[in-house]
């Protein structure tokens, strides 16, 4: 299954471990991975010795709670237990399912239907105004914060490196033909030289832009605040903030704003503004 997934161009979320069970056994207060030893024996990772699989089955019969699934077995066991009809998942959880699919086949259960959950980010009206004032979009901040910071620096007068970088690249390009005409073996050294010079100028341009952005203290601070709002501690809001954070900050009206502004198409990111007036319900 892993080879098929990789052949289709998808990254494996879990490194394959031949001979390793997707289950853990709780013994002596420690949760240890079960590893198979041939057809009828097993061992616990980090513990010396082997035991018959029959003993493991007996342990499970006596107390199923001591055995827990790993990430690849959890979906199938969960759905076999709960009788799940539809799984509503985010992109991260969905990425594991191709590797987890064999567990459904092994247990003889039909996998549930899948649906991507809606995606949203919370920015209030004042923060959106700051974003517009910076001349940036959400895609800039969420996609490449370093490039966003550079653009801000260029606006503050730090964009003078890129034109020079383009001219240097053009001049360097003129060296390729005569060099390879002299000796074809010079092609790789030439390419490495050109790439090295371009990377150095790119890094320098970033430092210049950052220095220019720091001089524009107000906009630099606002950019930092927006980045921290969108990704607190470097993680998305949904992974770093508790469910009570936004209601605590904006009050009871936050729930109504979320329901009113949340789009259900998972291909698009909804921007929820808790300070925007909520449309009245039908009949009000």
Helix (H, G, I), strand (E, B) or coil at 37: strand
pLDDT mean values, one per 10 residues, the chain (284 residues)? 83 88 93 94 94 95 94 92 91 88 91 92 95 90 86 70 86 88 88 91 82 74 92 90 93 93 92 85 55
d(CA 277, CA 260): 10
The answer to whether residue 211 sits within a structural domain is yes
158 and 261 housed in the same domain: yes
35 and 129 housed in the same domain: no
d(CA 263, CA 269): 8
Domain count, the chain: 2
Farthest-apart Cα atoms in the chain, separation: 83
157 and 261 housed in the same domain: yes
Which of 91, 116, 141 represents a domain boundary (last residue)? 116
196 and 61 housed in the same domain: no
Record the pTM. 0.61
Cα–Cα nearest to 111, from 119, 102, 120: 102
- In terms of DSSP bridges, do strands 113-116 and 86-89 run parallel, antiparallel, or are they unpaired? parallel
The answer to whether residue 21 sits within a structural domain is yes
Structural domain that includes position 137: 122-272
Tokens 């900050």 correspond to 249
Cα–Cα nearest to 193, from 219, 174, 207, 214: 174
168 and 109 housed in the same domain: no
Q: What is the DSSP letter of 155?
A: I
């Amino acid at each position: 299954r892993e080879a098929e997934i990789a052949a289709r161009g998808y990254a494996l979320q879990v490194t394959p471990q031949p001979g390793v069970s997707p289950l853990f056994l709780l013994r002596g207060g420690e949760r240890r991975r079960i590893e198979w030893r041939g057809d009828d024996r097993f061992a616990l990772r980090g513990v010396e010795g082997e035991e018959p699989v029959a003993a493991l089955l007996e342990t499970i019969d006596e107390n199923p709670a001591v055995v827990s699934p790993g990430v690849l077995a959890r979906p199938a066991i969960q759905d076999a237990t709960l009788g799940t009809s539809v799984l509503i998942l985010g992109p991260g959880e969905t990425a594991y399912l191709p590797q987890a699919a064999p567990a459904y086949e092994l247990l003889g259960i039909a996998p549930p239907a899948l649906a991507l959950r809606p995606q949203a980010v919370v920015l209030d009206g004042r923060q959106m105004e700051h974003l517009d004032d910076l001349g940036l979009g959400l895609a800039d901040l969420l996609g490449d914060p370093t490039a966003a910071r550079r653009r801000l620096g260029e606006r503050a007068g730090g964009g003078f490196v890129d034109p020079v970088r383009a001219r240097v690249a053009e001049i360097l390009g003129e060296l390729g033909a005569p060099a390879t005409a002299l000796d074809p073996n010079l092609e790789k050294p030439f390419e490495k030289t050109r790439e090295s010079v371009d990377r150095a100028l790119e890094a320098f341009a970033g430092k210049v832009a950052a220095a220019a952005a720091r001089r524009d203290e107000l906009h630099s601070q606002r950019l930092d605040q927006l980045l921290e709002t969108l990704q607190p501690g470097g993680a998305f809001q949904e992974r770093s903030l508790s469910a009570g954070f936004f209601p605590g900050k904006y009050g009871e009206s936050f729930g109504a704003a979320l329901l009113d502004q949340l789009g259900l198409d998972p291909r698009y990111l909804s921007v929820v503004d808790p300070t925007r007036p909520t449309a009245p319900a039908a009949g009000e």
